[in-house]
């Protein structure tokens, strides 16, 4: 017979074992974004040819059929979605609304008997389906048949989003991406519960949407001369040189993409960028500008602006519409009339950023308008322009959305602000009572380098996936009701093809997906990084490109008593870092970095690489002394 102490010891042992099993089970649920509530239970459900897939209401049939289409390919089975309430995998629209999960939430329960996804709306069923797909083996992502056991762990998940705006912006002006590329991108982001696709359709380098009232916008504005090399370093078009690079979406293309997005619970927010960033429009219709220069061409990526380092700049080529010309507002009326008819979104993004006023200051019409309006500063003309534009949008039943520069010169309380120059614009806008989407460069710009600038394609700034994951969209002191959510932005000056789009997007978009969906309290970088690696293998199975920069060493330097100090960091905790400064190639027999190192004088070259389990995993980073010295000042 056990003593009391033995009984207590046995109970503690059982509890510890249960906790250990529970922890191990939860660690096997590699979901992104992390659900609100998640409990792994005993057992699994095996999908076989005898499995049935059903939906309880006609309106949920498209979700069940989408699941069938996804699962039939890799399993080789021939499932059909059937109406009913007793299928093995059941999609159920609730008769009575569940207030906890709201419009986009869901409840997913799986056992050895099957799986049930319950939701208030089709959006919730769609997101429940995405979670269910992530619970299946990675082979679910493959195009061919995989002869494996198709099992789902037994779980109970209650899940719903933290924010209603969870977006990704894709710039298609700098490089044109095909209709199929855009649809693929929408499908990819929807897997991670994004619900907004911000489509940057026009800029200096290309006009990508057919406007029937102004056919030259695509006949001329959609094409530029062929140039190689980085944006900002290319040469101007030659007289008479044919513009052969580009493309555009017809209105039928737009309708097809909008319908596809709706099927994936994604709202497309179009951006037509005015009054600046309008060189493609001016090349098409020079009379829209102040100088009316008929030699204006769609820009191929030349050095057409000068930045002065304090946020100010000068344009060497006019790219701004004339705010004093009534013909410009007739143009806007017709353009946005056609755009509004194509996109069901309540919002149209109008840009409003980086608007150079130098040509306005020199224009007689703009000077006369300023005198008429009794305004002293040319900057205030942008406020006049934006208010005129907002009134046009209201007549189309749309809300104005713009970058945080639209605060300059005054906007109406109904306008929504997208804060990109850090978070300060969003804080200011929220305190003024505006709705805000937080998308600061410091956390959400997906065109920035992900790894070391000597490895990643060069650009002027860097953004690690860990930094993106650390983003908090609601700043201290701001009423959360004004923060609609956030998004990641992918500008494409240095992104020439769709594989590069994927590479720049992932895994940072996975990190931001969790920021925008999951509870703030659940944020845990180490846990996320483990799940991220699981999704690397799922992306491999799906042939989706992504950056592996999270495996790379992060090289920093500092000065201490005029001695150069080497500091190396890592994003993933279980990696080991090895380095050399003696002109040999590092491996796992070289010096292992454990703490800051004093570097000797002389023209040394640092080489560093990460290892895991005795195998190299990160890129080799090679830095000469001059570069190490420059990093002290960053």
Q: Which of 139, 353, 354, 567 is catalytic?
A: 354
Strands 483-490 and 576-580 come out as unpaired
Strand partners, 565: 558, 598
Size of the chain, expressed as the number of residues it contains: 634
Phi, psi of 544 (to 5 degrees): -100, 130
Distances in whole angstroms, Cα of residue 440 to Cα of each of 9, 28, 425, 513: 53, 33, 9, 15
Q: Which two tokens stand for residue 77?
A: 């089975």
Contact 104, 160 (CB under 8 A): yes
CA distance 507 to 239: 44
Rg (CA), the chain: 27
CA 469, CA 159: separation in Å to the nearest integer? 20
- Which pair of structure tokens corresponds to residue 540? 């491999």
Q: Both tokens of residue 40?
A: 């792994």
Residue of 200, 264, 277, 535 marked catalytic: 277
- Reply yes or no on whether 354 is catalytic: yes
CB of 618 within 8 A of CB of 575? Answer: yes
**Could you write out the DSSP letters of every residue in 395-410?**
HTT-EEEEEGGGGTT-
Phi-psi sector, 281: left (phi>0), alpha (psi -120 to 50), beta: alpha
- Residue 216 — φ and ψ, nearest 5°? -65, -20
Transcribe 529-575 into DSSP letters: HHHHHHHHHHHHHHT-----GGGS-EEEEEEETTEEEEEEE-SSTT-
Catalytic residue list contains 203 = yes
User: Which of 109, 171, 203, 273 is flagged as catalytic?
Assistant: 203
Question: Which residues are known catalytic residues?
Answer: 203, 277, 354
């Amino acid at each position: 017979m056990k003593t009391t102490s033995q009984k207590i010891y046995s109970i503690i042992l059982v509890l510890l074992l249960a906790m250990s099993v529970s922890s191990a089970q939860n660690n096997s649920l590699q979901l992104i974004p992390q659900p609100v509530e998640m409990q792994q239970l005993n057992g699994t459900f095996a999908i076989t040819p005898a499995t049935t897939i059903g939906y309880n209401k006609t309106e949920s049939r498209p979700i069940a059929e989408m699941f069938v289409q996804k699962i039939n390919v890799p399993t080789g089975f021939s499932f059909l979605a059937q109406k009913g309430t007793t299928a093995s995998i059941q999609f159920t629209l609730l008769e009575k609304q569940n207030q906890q999960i709201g419009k986009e939430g869901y409840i997913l329960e799986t056992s050895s008997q099957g799986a049930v996804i319950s939701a208030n709306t089709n959006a919730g069923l769609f997101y429940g389906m995405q979670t269910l797909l992530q619970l299946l083996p990675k082979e679910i992502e493959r195009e061919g048949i995989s002869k494996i056991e198709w099992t789902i762990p037994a779980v109970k998940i209650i899940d719903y989003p933290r924010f209603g705006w969870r977006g990704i912006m894709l710039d298609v002006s700098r490089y044109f991406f095909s209709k199929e590329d855009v649809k693929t991108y929408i499908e990819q982001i929807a897997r991670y519960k994004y619900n907004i696709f911000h489509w940057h359709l026009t800029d200096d380098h290309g006009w990508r949407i057919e406007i029937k009232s102004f056919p030259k916008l695509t006949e001329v504005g959609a094409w530029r001369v062929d140039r190689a090399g980085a944006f900002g370093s290319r040469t101007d078009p030659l007289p008479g040189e044919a513009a052969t690079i580009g493309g555009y979406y017809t209105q039928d293309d737009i309708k097809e993409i909008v319908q596809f997005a709706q099927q994936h619970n994604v709202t497309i927010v179009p951006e037509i960028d005015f009054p600046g960033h309008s060189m493609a429009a001016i090349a098409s219709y020079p009379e829209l500008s102040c100088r009316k220069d008929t030699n204006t061409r769609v820009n191929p990526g030349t050095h057409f602006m000068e930045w002065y380092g304090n946020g100010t700049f000068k344009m060497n080529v006019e790219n701004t519409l004339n705010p004093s010309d009534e013909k410009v507002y007739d143009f806007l009326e017709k353009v946005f009339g056609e755009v509004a008819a194509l996109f069901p979104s309540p919002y149209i993004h109008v840009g409003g950023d980086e608007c150079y006023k130098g040509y306005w200051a020199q224009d007689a019409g703009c000077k006369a308008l300023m005198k008429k309006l009794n305004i002293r500063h040319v900057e205030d003309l942008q406020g006049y322009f934006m208010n005129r534009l907002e009134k046009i949008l209201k007549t189309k039943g749309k809300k104005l959305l713009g970058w945080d520069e639209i605060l300059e010169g005054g906007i109406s309380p109904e306008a929504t602000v997208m804060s990109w120059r850090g978070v300060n614009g969003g804080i200011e806008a929220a305190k003024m009572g505006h709705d805000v989407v937080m998308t600061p460069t410091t956390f959400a710009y997906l065109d920035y380098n992900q790894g070391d600038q000597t490895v990643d394609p060069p650009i002027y700034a860097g953004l690690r996936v860990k930094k993106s994951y650390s983003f908090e969209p609601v700043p201290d002191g701001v009423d959360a009701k004004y923060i609609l959510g956030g998004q990641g932005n992918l500008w494409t000056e240095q992104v020439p093809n769709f594989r590069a789009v994927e590479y720049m997007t992932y895994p940072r978009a996975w990190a931001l997906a969790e920021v925008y969906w999951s509870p703030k309290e659940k944020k845990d970088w180490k846990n996320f990084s483990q799940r991220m690696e699981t999704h690397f293998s799922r992306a491999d199975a799906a042939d989706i490109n992504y950056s592996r920069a999270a495996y790379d060493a992060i090289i920093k330097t500092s000065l201490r008593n005029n001695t150069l100090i080497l500091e190396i960091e890592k994003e993933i905790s279980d990696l080991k870092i090895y380095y050399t400064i003696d002109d040999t190639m590092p491996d796992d027999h070289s010096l292992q970095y454990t703490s800051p190192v004093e570097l000797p004088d002389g023209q040394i070259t640092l080489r560093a690489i990460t290892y895991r389990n005795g195998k190299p995993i990160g890129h080799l980073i090679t830095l000469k002394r001059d570069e190490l010295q420059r990093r002290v000042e960053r």
